[in-house]
Structure 1
Amino acid sequence: MAPGPNFKDKLAGHKAVIIGGSRGIGLGVAEAFLSSGANVHIISRSQQSLDSALSILKEEYPNPELTISGSTSDVLNESEITQELLKVAPVDHIVYTAVDKRIRGPIGEVDVADAQELFGVKFWGQVGVAKAIANHDIIKPGGSYTITSGSLSIRPVPGTAVGGALNAAVNTLTKGLAIDLSPKRVRVNVVVPGFVTSTHETYSPERANAIKERGKNLLTGFVGTTEDISEAYLYLARAKYTTGTVNVVDGGALLV
């Protein structure tokens, strides 16, 4: 009898670029790809954050068969990020998790300049990378481009109108990009994370207790971590029949 399908090694030997991979969800995604046998290149706007992330990853994954590298680039500079991607191409997967800040507060007090900057990083940055993918052979046919939104795109709460609208735009962008990049045989999907904690951050006892209490209101009974969110990015890299999808990972928060 022929052996069954090999799910464990689907990403072994692949090359993944994580834009925003020096902290938070992006760092968790880098760990997930490395754990799955993929080589990883992270792109960060900060050299200090990049150096810290590379140190963590190389200590966690000392396997000499894995390549762990990184570089700095500004996603708001279309030419710069395009050239950076061309340097590491061809790759199998690009994941975009970069975001600088969150816009919260009453609509009457919104700092429009701050909001425009956030749109630049989280929306136009993801568009710029997609443009580079469309115009150059950066991602191999059959590869994937996975971007990142947020759960306020689906159910905003008071004070989140602008942030929710931004993330909703990213969700719609995903579907359009899946169509536009299909001639390149590049799949495009978006992960919509709920609130999560970072496995590389230390929280005060008060903050840790507040997070625990918040988790009690979720269907899962706990607040997830960046490790939990990273599973969604792995799935979308592996799932070659999946494109144009919006994937909510929030512990069931939208149902309570």
Structure 2
Amino acid sequence: MSQKSVIITGGAAGLGNGIAQKFAAEGFRVGVLDLDPAATEAAAKALPDGVALVADVTDEAAVQAAFDRFGAPDVLVNNAGILSLGALIDQTPAQFRKVLDVHVMGTFTCAGIAARAMRDAGRGGAIVNLTSINAVTPGPGSGAYPAAKAAIAKLTEHMAVEWGPLGIRVNCVAPGFIDGGMSAPFYADPKIRAVRGGAVPFGGLGRVEDIAEAVWYLASDKARYVSGHQLVVDGAVTHSLLRALPRE
């Protein structure tokens, strides 16, 4: 049996790197696709079968070149993302558009290239997109992030419907309050850790490993009949409104 492969965007650090480590542990050849050359090279070298793929997910030509170099993957994980925090009323169109470009257009571009490669290889595959609980319930001060993540969730459903006949499953994972990735700087503040962790019914912040395991499940044969689904991994915090508003 030939070695399976995965490309993970934004795989040089944070959640993406945690996901890369999980796939490497499962014996995959891992393509780490990220923007920073030094960080991408370092992350790839730290994996048993890591391949550094330096590209901006909004640059179609660069992404195509990276996929051509790596070959058709069995799995694509769209994890690359950015934040532009602040009140929505103060966001400029340029700030808003940049977030949409990276998240929505980046996901669309990478997924399209991966799907065509999988189709041409004649073996299908799996795509897992990263969304957020902001796609379910927008948080104040998060700029274009909720709109971008909600768009990815709907795009995931659309891809699943159109690409299912090609043997390609498409799902997404919506992380909650995770102690890592782009949220790590916020949780360095003990007060924020205590407030957010205490708001989670299951108790405490989630781990990078929790997201990596969810992504792995959706990409694996264990989820062979799961497609078009958003798996929320949040310790039930998005369902906890009434917990915060007791009757007495």
Question: Which residue of structure 2 lines up, in the alignment, with residue 130 of structure 1?
Answer: 111
- Give the TM-score of the pair, scaled to structure 1: 0.83
Partner of 2:88: 107
Deviates more, 1:129-138 or 1:179-188: 129-138
Distance in 2 between residues matched to 1:205 and 1:85, nearest whole Å: 35
Letter in 1 for 2:105: W
Structure 1 unaligned blocks of 5 or more? 1-10, 59-65
Distance 1:139 1:53, change over 3 A: farther
Matched, 1:34 2:24: yes
Q: Which residue of 2 aligns with 1:171?
A: 153
- Cα distance in 1 for partners of 2:89, 2:186 equals 32
Decide which moves more: 90-99 or 159-168: 159-168
Aligned mates of 1:205, 1:147 — CA distance in 2:
24
Do residues 246 (structure 1) and 223 (structure 2) align?
A: no
Distance, in Å, in 1 between the alignment partners of 2:106 and 2:230 is 19
Look up the SS of the partner of 2:144 in the other structure. Answer: helix
2:123 counterpart letter in structure 1: P
Question: Which of the numbers 148, 163, 175 marks the counterpart of 1:193?
Answer: 175
Kindly tell me: are residues 202 and 90 of structure 1, through their superposed partners in 2, closer, same or farther at Cα, counting changes over 3 Å? Answer: closer
Task: Structure 2: give runs of 5+ residues left out of the alignment.
Answer: 241-248
Q: State the distance in 2 between where 1:205 and 1:244 align.
A: 31
Q: 2:73 aligns with which of 79, 91, 95?
A: 91
SS where residue 181 of structure 1 aligns?
helix
Select the residue among 205, 210, 214 that pairs with 2:196: 214
Q: Tell me the amino acid that sits aligned with residue 13 of structure 1.
A: Q
In the TM superposition, residue 93 of structure 1 has moved relative to its aligned partner by 0.5
Identity of matched residues, %: 26
Match in the other structure for 1:184: 166
State the superposition RMSD in angstroms: 2.6
Q: Distance in 1 between matches of 2:121 and 2:224?
A: 14
| Paired residue total | 237
Q: Which amino acid in the other structure matches residue 113 of structure 1?
A: A
Shift of 1:85: 0.9
Q: Which residue of 2 aligns with 1:8?
A: none
CA distance in 2, matches of 1:157, 1:38: 36
Q: How far off is 1:148 after superposition?
A: 1.1
SS at match of 1:196: coil
| Superposed CA offset, 1:29-84 (max 9, x none) | 001111222221111111122133235x34xxxxxxx4122120111111220121
**Matched-pair contact (CA < 8 Å) for 2:179–2:187:** no
Instruction: Write the distance in 1 (CA, Å) between the matches of 2:90 and 2:232.
Output: 29
Query: Residues 51, 130 of structure 1: CA spacing in aligned structure 2 closer, same or farther, 3 A cutoff?
Result: closer
Change over 3 Å in CA distance of 1:13–1:24 after alignment to 2: same
- Over 3 Å counting, the alpha-carbon distance change for 1:139 and 1:221 in structure 2 is farther
**TM-score when normalising by structure 2:** 0.86
Residues 29, 109 of structure 1: alpha-carbon distance in 2 compared, 3 angstrom cutoff: same
